[in-house]
Amino acid sequence: MTHRPYTPWLFLAPGLAICLLFVIFPFFNMIVLAFTDASALGGGQFTGVDNFVRMAGDPKFWAAARNSLLYMVGVVPPLVLLPLLIAMLAQKVVPGIGIFRTAFFTPVIASTVVVGLIWTWLLDSRGLVNSVVEALGGTRIGFLTDSTLLLISSMVVTVWRGLGYYMVIYLAALANVPKDLHEAAMVDGAGPVRRFWSVTVPSLRPTMVLVAALSAVNGFRVFSEIYLLSGGTGGPGGASTTLVMLIQSVGRGLTGEVGYASALSVVLFVILLGLLLITLKLNRREDQL
């Protein structure tokens, strides 16, 4: 058979074209725009680092960055631990386990808007949760009207939505944990808790680092949950606005400040890149140990 060197490129071309058009070009365009005062309708003038100087003195940017950071810190631990525990339960072969696995995976495939609406109805001041609180003699809780509680409520939704996805990753990793390690530990008299900490966790450490990295990146660039629970406002006074919400708010519409929004996007990209590099380094260190 004749080997034509361009054949692999022919197969790659459609994917590469899409990637170039919709990822690479917009990415470089964003970097260029970050140094301009472009608007949705105007080409914009080169303004040097003005957008970044403005950002440094913009309280909205700092508040949004703080909220994104808090969000990340809030969602990573439960998203690393809870799916692991669920995966350990879900890997058991018992009748009806399929229903259990499906139930946990459903939020992953459910429409974000539907999920947002359901949680809004649950957490509204007259919603189901507050009705129960009132019935039990408590006073209504402002889950969606207090900026701190709104952030926490959104974190709960993110964790709830992420459980199934990370559970699947853990299920795949758990299947690769050698059974003989568990058997050897059992022979040595280790109970389930000891086996979890001494066998399961060390075997899954690279997967846990991966889950931590993915959930940290997703947590830092959260948008949908806060957007939907706050009705697109970022909570009272916009106090729960996250970095991605701020980018959307600054850049949207015909009067959007596209240059400044791009500069914010560049900063977000740098932060996320930093996060991933740290994770990569941690992972390498794990491998070397």
Partner 1 sequence: MKRRTFLAGLAAVPVAGCGLSGTSNTSSSASGQVTGEITFQTWSLKPKYTDYVNGVVDAFQKQHQGTTVKWVDQPADGYLAKVMADASAGSLPDVINVPPDLSFPLAKAGQLVDLDESLKDARPEYLENAWQAFEIPGRGGCYGFPWYLNTGPIFYNKALFQQAGLDPDKPPTNFKELEATALKLAEKKVAILGQTPSIADFGLYGVKLFDNDKFTFNEPKGVEFVETYKRMYDAGALIPEALTQNYTGAGAKFMAQQTAMNAGSAYDLGKFKTDAPSLYANIGITTPITNTGSANMFLHGVSVPKSSKNQATALAFGRFLTSAENQVAFAKLASIFPSTSKGGDDPYFTTEDGTDEARVRVAAAKQLKTAVNYTPVQFSDQMREALLQQLADAMLGKKSPKQALDDAVAECNRLLK
Contacting positions for partner 1 (CB under 8 A): 26-27, 29-30, 32-33, 36, 38, 40-44, 124-126, 142, 144-145, 230-238, 247-258, 261-262, 265
Q: How far is the CB of 12 from partner 1 (least distance, A)?
A: 23
Q: How far is the CB of 256 from partner 1 (least distance, A)?
A: 7
Q: How far is the CB of 192 from partner 1 (least distance, A)?
A: 46
Least separation in angstroms between residue 223's CB and partner 1 is 11
Distance of CA 106 to the CA centre of its chain: 17
Q: Residue 163 CB, nearest distance to partner 1 (Å)?
A: 28
In sequence order, what DSSP letters do the residues of 32-54 get, joined into one string?
A: HHTTB---SSS---B-TTHHHHH
Q: How many whole angstroms separate alpha carbon 14 and alpha carbon 18? A: 6
Pick between residue 34 and residue 76 the one whose CB is nearest to partner 1: 34
What phi, psi does 108 have (nearest 5°)?
A: -65, -40
- Between 78 and 142, CB nearer to partner 1: 142
Residues 6 or more apart whose Cβ sits within 8 Å of residue 68: 219, 220, 221, 222, 242, 243, 244
> H/E element holding 229?
helix 224-229
What single DSSP character describes residue 237?
Answer: G
Judged by beta carbon, residue 158 or residue 249, the one nearer partner 1 is: 249
| 51 touches 259 (CB < 8 A) | yes
Q: Which is nearer to partner 1, 78 or 238 (CB)?
A: 238
Kindly tell me which of 77 and 232 has the beta carbon lying closer to partner 1. 232
